[in-house]
Structure formats: C-alpha cells, structure tokens
C-alpha cells in the first residue's frame, strides 16, 4: 500500500494531467485500503478474507461545467484515458453556477493536525482468529444462549489523499480494528437474535474480547419471550445503540444541499430553539483516534470542532462550497468527498453531550412506556419531519423495565421529538455518532 506521501503525489499528478489536458480546474482524491477479517462459528474457523483496493477519483471543470470520474486501474494508459474522458465530459455537461473548487483563501495551509489515527499495527490472521474465538466463547458461555450465529475480528489500514489545482495537497493514514458476535437464544420454540460490536483506531483500546461477547449473549437472552404491547401515547426511551440515529436525522435536515433545495423540516430553524435548553451537540473532527476524525474536509478546507446545537439553539448549517455559494454563506468545512462524485456534506465525530440524569432515574420517572433497542424500516420524511418506525424493546411499568416486547411502531414528528428529548448521563463513545440514552415524551406507540 502507498504511504500518505505517495498517495498525495498520485493525486497531485492526476490533477496536473487534467490541467495539461485542458481542464480549467480540477481536484483528485486517492483512497487505498487493505483489510483482513476472520469469521468463526461454533468454535471453528468459518472464513478468512483479505481485501485490498486502490481507487482514484477525478473532478474537472470547464468553466462552470464539471464532470467526475473514477477508476481502480492506476496504470498510465488507464489514467490517461480517464483524464481525456473527464475533460470531454465536462465540456458537454450543463452549466452550474454554484459549482467550483473551494475558495482558495480558505484552503488549509501548514502542517496537518496530528490525530493519532494509525497505531502501526498489522495483526496476523492467527491473532485475529484467536480474538474472534475469544469473543464467541464469552458469548456462548452466557446462560440461555442456544446457538452462535458467528463472531468475527478484523484489522485494516488505509490512506486518503486529496489534491486540487489551486494549491492544496494533503494525505493521512489510518488503522481500524473491530470485533463482533451475533447470538441466538430460544425458549418454548421462540428464538431471538442480538449482537454486539466494538471498533477502534488503535488495537490497544479495543475492549476486551470477553466484554463484547458477553454483551452479545446477554442481549440475545434478554429478548427471549418477547410479547406484544398495548398502544397509546407514552414516553419512549431510546437506548444508546439507537439514540445516535436521531442525530443522523438532524444532520440530514441541516445539510446545506437540503437547505438550498428547501427540502428540510428545519428550513427556518437556524438560531432558534430546536432542542430543550441545556442540550449541546458537537461535531469534532479533531478527536484523537476518532473513528471519523480527519485533518481536512473533502475540498481541502481546515476542520475544527463545531457546536451544532448550543443550549438547545441551532447554531449552524453544515455547508460545502457549492451549497454555501447558493445560500450566500461561507463553507463550514463539512464537505464529504466520494471517489466518483462531487463533494457532498457530512459530519465527523458527532455527539450529544451527556445530561445530568442517570439512566435509571430517567426510566424510573415513567409510569408506563417503552425502551426501544431496535428500529426497523426507513419511515422518516425529511421535508415534514414525520417519523414512524417499526420497533422492538422492553416495556416500562411503574419505573421498571419489565418484559421484552416487539412488533410495534413508534411515531411522532422530529421537531416535537427534539424539543422534548431528555438525555441521560450515560454517554459512551463507541461509534462515529454518539448520544446518551434519550427519553422522548408523548410519542405514539401502536401494536403492529
């Protein structure tokens, strides 16, 4: 695999070739990665996989016309053909007065921030197999687990580079490690399945294999005997596994393209009270070893921690250069670049700050409600904010989590859900988007 410097040079060379071929401006992204994954089942090796890839994406401009192309064939002939095709396509593309590279004066200059994303490790398949077996052994040892649906361990290394024709070139490397298990538990002919997974940039901070396995087993066993629920209006508590998904709906609503197209339920909400007072939501691309940390955005702009919501107030849109131009604003460093497409908008390490109420207290205040641990479907309308999802979880009665329930729906409107959301104090950073347990009052629950 190429080093970050080699990847940066590869991206810069294709930009130079595009300019030489007649492009008025260009940028290129290079992404390469290699990963090894081991899967075990019932104490035996089931699969060992190794994948390696390298892709180059090029965007060229002919005035306000542009085209994007990508290839995994990095030979000189293939790259030459790619450049010629991209320039020809751009000259035939429709004009877009908002398109263009990021403002030159806003580009990141100087050394890249050090984010500690690469630990230099490269574990052998035997070590991954041992870890996967340890995860599965711990899961199968949980009383009530009847069958393993498999456990896995993986390790990867990658590099990302970006170069533009107006002065930016940068690259960074990263490693990633993961482990997971899926277990089944049955009673009286009814079977339930659940899982646990943990990922980290550094192998040293990956949680103990036994902890991941034990959690997978306990989750599966806890769901056995799931019944139905009588519907009505009631508080819904979103487990930490799901609460971050609500932040994902927030991101879609405040993304520049949605605002520019006027297709967001938060269209006129900037600077207003969207969440309850005290709620704080932060996007932090500089978190050391963060799963989504990065030193620059998809257009070469510097990135920095951003308070998206402060004391419940919506403080900013998330803007790439194109949507910023369309709205008459400045880009916010949230461009997210794919290989074969123009930049879009995305967050990095997003989290909602922990509240001051313990999870047990948050649940203890509920006379009758439901704790949701799984949602099913895609029932969210980004224009109106209407929310309706199939769900499974546990009934809450007189302040206690009692029995598992499934085959019900939860519904509401995201504007109202945001304003009534109460965070617990149990925030844990396990993914790219994290939130504590959230209680939302007054949602509609219906038996499916």
Among 174, 183, 172, 176, which Cα is nearest to 148's?
Answer: 183
CA angle 321, 347, 335 (to 5 degrees): 20
95, pLDDT greater than 80: yes
379-418 confidence digits (pLDDT tens): 999 999 999 999 999 999 999 999 999 999 999 999 999 9
5-48 confidence digits (pLDDT tens): 999 999 999 999 999 999 999 999 999 999 999 999 999 999 99
How many percent of the chain have pLDDT more than 90? Answer: 97
Rounded CA separation 277/84 (Å): 55
Query: 23 in helix, strand or coil?
Result: coil
367, pLDDT greater than 80: yes
pLDDT at 417: 97
258-293 confidence digits (pLDDT tens): 999 999 999 999 999 999 999 999 999 999 999 999
Rounded CA separation 414/408 (Å): 19
pLDDT at 52: 95
What's the mean pLDDT when you consider all of the chain? 96
**Residues 76-83: what's their mean pLDDT?**
94
pLDDT at 188: 79
CATH topology assigned to domain 4-221: PmbA/TldD fold (3.30.2290)
pLDDT at 189: 77
pLDDT at 448: 74
The arrangement of strands across the sheet holding 433-434 comes to: 313-314, 306-310, 281-283, 350-352, 433-434
284-305 confidence digits (pLDDT tens): 999 999 999 999 999 999 999 9
224-252 confidence digits (pLDDT tens): 999 999 999 999 999 999 999 999 999 99
pLDDT at 190: 83
Q: Are strands 386-397 and 313-314 parallel, antiparallel or unpaired?
A: unpaired
Tokens of 388: 């309706």
The per-residue b/e assignment along 189-221, b for 16 or more CB within 10 angstroms, e otherwise, is: eeebebbbbbbbbbbeebeebeebbbbbbbbbb
First to last CA, the chain: 51
Which stretches of 197-277 are DSSP H helices? 209-222, 240-254, 256-261
Residue 133: how many CB atoms within 10 A of its CB? Answer: 19
CB 194 within 8 A of CB 226: no
307-347 confidence digits (pLDDT tens): 999 999 999 999 999 999 999 999 999 999 989 899 999 99
pLDDT at 144: 96
pLDDT at 140: 98
Helix axes 125-140, 209-222, angle to 10 degrees: 40
80, pLDDT greater than 80: yes
pLDDT at 37: 98
How many percent of the chain have pLDDT more than 70? Answer: 100
- Which residues touch 7 (CB under 8 Å, ≥6 apart)? 30, 32, 159, 160, 161, 171
pLDDT at 15: 97
Which helix H or strand E contains 14, and what residues bound it?
helix 4-20
pLDDT at 295: 98
Helix axes 4-20, 76-92, angle to 10 degrees: 50
pLDDT at 418: 98
pLDDT at 187: 85
Q: Are strands 232-238 and 344-345 parallel, antiparallel or unpaired?
A: unpaired
Rounded CA separation 139/121 (Å): 26
pLDDT at 1: 81
User: Domains of the chain: which residue ranges?
Assistant: 4-221, 226-245+354-447, 262-351
145-195 confidence digits (pLDDT tens): 999 999 999 999 999 999 999 999 999 999 999 999 999 999 877 899 999
141, pLDDT greater than 80: yes
- Which residues touch 100 (CB under 8 Å, ≥6 apart)? 25, 61, 64, 321, 322, 325
């Amino acid at each position: 695999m190429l080093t970050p410097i080699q990847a940066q040079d590869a991206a810069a060379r294709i930009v130079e070739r595009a300019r030489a071929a007649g492009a008025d401006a260009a940028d290129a992204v290079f992404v390469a990665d290699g990963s090894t994954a081991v899967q075990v089942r019932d104490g035996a090796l089931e699969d060992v996989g190794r994948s390696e890839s390298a892709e180059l994406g090029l965007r060229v401009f002919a005035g306000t016309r542009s085209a994007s192309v990508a290839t995994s064939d990095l030979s000189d002939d293939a790259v030459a053909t790619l450049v010629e095709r991209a320039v020809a396509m751009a000259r035939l593309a429709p004009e877009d007065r908002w398109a263009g590279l990021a403002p030159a004066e806003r580009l990141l200059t100087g050394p890249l921030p050090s984010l500690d994303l690469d630990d230099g490790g490269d574990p052998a398949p035997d070590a991954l197999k041992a870890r996967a077996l340890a995860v599965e052994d711990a899961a199968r040892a949980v009383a009530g687990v009847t069958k393993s649906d498999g456990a896995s361990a993986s390790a990867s290394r990658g590099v990302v580079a970006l170069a533009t024709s107006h002065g930016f070139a940068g690259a960074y490397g990263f490693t990633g490690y993961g482990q997971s298990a899926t277990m089944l538990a049955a009673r009286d002919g009814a079977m339930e399945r659940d899982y646990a997974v943990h990922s980290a940039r550094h192998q040293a901070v990956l949680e103990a294999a036994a902890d991941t396995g034990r959690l997978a087993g306990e989750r599966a066993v806890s769901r056995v005997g799931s019944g139905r629920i009588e519907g009505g209006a009631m508080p819904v508590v979103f487990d930490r596994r799901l609460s971050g998904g609500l932040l994902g709906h927030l991101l879609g609503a405040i993304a520049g393209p949605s605002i520019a197209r006027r297709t967001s339920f938060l269209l006129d909400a900037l600077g207003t009270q969207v969440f309850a007072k005290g709620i704080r939501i932060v996007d932090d691309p500089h978190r050391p070893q963060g799963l989504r940390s990065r030193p620059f955005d998809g257009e070469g702009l510097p990135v920095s921690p951003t308070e998206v919501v402060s004391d419940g107030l919506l403080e900013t849109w998330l803007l790439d250069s194109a949507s910023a131009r369309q709205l008459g604003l400045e880009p916010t460093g949230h461009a997210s670049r794919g290989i074969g497409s123009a930049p879009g908008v995305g967050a990095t390490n997003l989290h909602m700050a922990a509240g001051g109420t313990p999870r047990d207290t948050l649940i203890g205040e509920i006379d009758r409600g439901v704790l949701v641990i799984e949602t099913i479907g895609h029932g969210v309308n980004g224009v109106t904010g209407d929310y309706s999802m199939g769900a499974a979880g546990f009934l809450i009665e007189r302040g206690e989590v009692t029995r598992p329930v499934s085959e019900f729906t939860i519904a509401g409107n995201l504007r109202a859900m945001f304003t009534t959301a109460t965070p617990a104090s149990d925030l844990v950073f396990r993914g790219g988007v994290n939130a504590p347990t959230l209680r939302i009052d007054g949602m509609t629950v219906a038996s499916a």
